[in-house]
Chains A and B, each alone.
Chain A
Amino acid sequence: MSEATLDFESDPYVANHPQTRPFWAAAAHGQFLLPRCNSCERVHWYPRPFCPLCKSQSVDWVPASGHGVVYSFSVMRKAEQPYVLAYVQLAEGPAMMTNIVDAEFDSIHVGQPVKVAFRRAETGRSVPVFTPI
């Protein structure tokens, strides 16, 4: 499938979760949204249409700062192309699974400041990844 025909709408990981469409629509334009609870005012991850912390159903998408720090990571060496799996703790509070990209493996460390970028998943949607600041 060529890049031009790839569309987040047909991605099965989007199609199976219709309430996450605003996130992927924004991501396609390089914007990182986070789900924020209007009741307890906390951001959670991964996104639900309700707040998993207080169970309120009043949750809005808000623009993220795009900043965070590496909470933990591992360089997956036994792979055709080694890569970095990580948890990044977002400035807004929660931590998310992600990849650290465009970084020297040996320079990555816990506590390192990172900022968001986007990479196209093979099924069509753009997913948030992080690069060292």
Chain B
Amino acid sequence: MSATGKAYIAGAFEHPTRYASTKSIADLHFECAQGALADAGLTFADVDGYFCAGDVPGASPAWLADYMNLRLRHLDGTEAGGCSYLLHIAHAAEAIAANKCSVALITLSGKPRSLGVATGTAVRQIPPERPDAPWEIAYQPTIVAVNAMFAKRHMYEFGTTREQLAWIKVAASHHAQHNEHALLRNVVTVEDVLNSPVIADPLHRLDCCVITDGGGALVVTRPEIAKSLKRPLVRIAGCGETVKTQTGGYIDLTRTGAAASGAAAFAEAGVKPADVKYASVYDNFTIMVLIQLEDLGFCEHGKGGCFVADGNLISGVGKLPWNTDGGGLCNNHPANRGGMTKAIEAVRQLRGEAHPAVQVRNCDLALASGPGLVMGTGQNHATVILERE
């Protein structure tokens, strides 16, 4: 069953905090939910579907549903890492199309910054019962070193350069200067990125995203409810999700799950990459943006380096305005999960509510896409295509 055209994003809210030592994770979820419902013009009493992922305390929708005292007839706790919330948009649209709920609430929050979590550089803790654990844990894999191996292989196969990767951070910083809530607002140069300390060769400090507290929420509704509200109409036009497995060891570190999730989303929406006016692409590391842009079809496989260089991702300058909030590289990466903020900035762009300095003119078609979980050479992946009506 296609969920195309059956659901709209009616509410979106990004928590302004980047450091929340005096609040609990559950409180942040509540504040994000409240913000998104207020944005839509709805109340908690309207919510009958709740979607959340592994960041909720207790890793089940139950605890937060109880905390917020929701009255639900549909719930979904699919945990797919950072892209979970993009996947939840798809699942909410499916549930609405199947008449399982009418107003779906999706929340995210976390506090890695105030808790001092060394997200990217600490050795991954892998529970012994996980099937990959015996074959990885002893080698001390870190998130940054795994992503660095994607970069190293891309450089080897295609001649991609560190300068090209640096342009991705430069673009994010150009956007973040206009975002009063962004953690890092200083505009940086390619030289600044190259001169920052090496974390895991070839990735330097400024190739890595920020660590922030905070969160966000979305409200997805059926069409008649969306049309009764006073907000611009943002239709869920197409969705795709996948797990890119490690293929029994026959690997390709120059591709991601975006090839599958993107193709599915474009097919369902009936559009092509060239039609997209704005793209939110999860930027945990610069290299991951470059590879996803290739996989999504914005440029040829192996040509990502040329595509991102010279400001091509900067709104008003380049061909593909990208992560105009400053993204995970500069603005916000709440709970170490970037999918939520990717969707929120896409909604802002489609509504014409992005900062005027980065707002894309006539932005009627946007994409939000990202990976989730670090699974060696594999990952989850989800893509949504949103349309302004």
- A residues near B (Cβ < 8 Å) are 12-17, 20, 42-48, 51-53, 71-79, 83, 85-87, 90, 93-99, 110-111, 119, 121-122, 125, 127, 129
A78 / chain B contacts, CB cutoff of 8 Å: 121, 144, 197-200
Contact partner of B248 (CB less than 8 A), chosen from A15, A45, A121, A129, is A45
B253 / chain A contacts, CB cutoff of 8 Å: 71-72, 87
Instruction: Name the residue on B nearest A92 (C-beta).
Output: B249
Contact partner of A85 (CB less than 8 A), chosen from B140, B250, B377, is B140
Complex CA gap A101/B253 in Å reads 22
Tell yes or no: B153 within 8 A of A by CB.
yes
Tell yes or no: B132 within 8 A of A by CB.
yes
Asked if A121 contacts B131 (CB within 8 A), the reply is: no
15 contacts between A and B (CB under 8 A): A13-B134, A16-B129, A42-B248, A46-B131, A71-B253, A72-B253, A74-B203, A75-B201, A76-B200, A83-B140, A85-B146, A85-B200, A94-B248, A95-B250, A121-B137
- Number of B interface residues, CB 8 Å? 40
Asked if A45 contacts B249 (CB within 8 A), the reply is: yes
B137 / chain A contacts, CB cutoff of 8 Å: 13, 121
If the complex has contacts A75-B201, A85-B149, are A17 and B249 also in contact, measured as CB distance less than 8 A?
Answer: no
**Distance in Å: Cβ of A87 to nearest Cβ of chain B:** 6
A20 / chain B contacts, CB cutoff of 8 Å: 134
Asked if A72 contacts B149 (CB within 8 A), the reply is: yes
Asked if A76 contacts B138 (CB within 8 A), the reply is: no
B141 / chain A contacts, CB cutoff of 8 Å: 85, 97
Tell yes or no: B269 within 8 A of A by CB.
no
Instruction: Name the residue on A nearest B120 (C-beta).
Output: A78
Q: A53-B248, A76-B142 provided; 9 other pairs, C-beta below 8 A?
A: A12-B128, A46-B131, A72-B156, A74-B203, A85-B148, A94-B249, A95-B377, A127-B139, A129-B139
Contact partner of A127 (CB less than 8 A), chosen from B138, B142, B198, B199, is B138
**Distance in Å: Cβ of B351 to nearest Cβ of chain A:** 40
Instruction: Name the residue on A nearest B250 (C-beta).
Output: A94
Tell yes or no: B133 within 8 A of A by CB.
yes
If the complex has contacts A13-B137, A98-B139, are A46 and B156 also in contact, measured as CB distance less than 8 A?
Answer: no
Complex CA gap A71/B131 in Å reads 23
If the complex has contacts A76-B140, A77-B198, are A97 and B250 also in contact, measured as CB distance less than 8 A?
Answer: no
If the complex has contacts A75-B201, A77-B201, A85-B146, are A96 and B134 also in contact, measured as CB distance less than 8 A?
Answer: no
Q: Which of B105-162 contact A (CB under 8 A)?
A: 121, 128-129, 131-142, 144-146, 148-150, 152-153, 156
A71 / chain B contacts, CB cutoff of 8 Å: 153, 251, 253
A122 / chain B contacts, CB cutoff of 8 Å: 138
A44 / chain B contacts, CB cutoff of 8 Å: 248-249
If the complex has contacts A52-B248, A72-B153, A85-B149, are A125 and B142 also in contact, measured as CB distance less than 8 A?
Answer: no
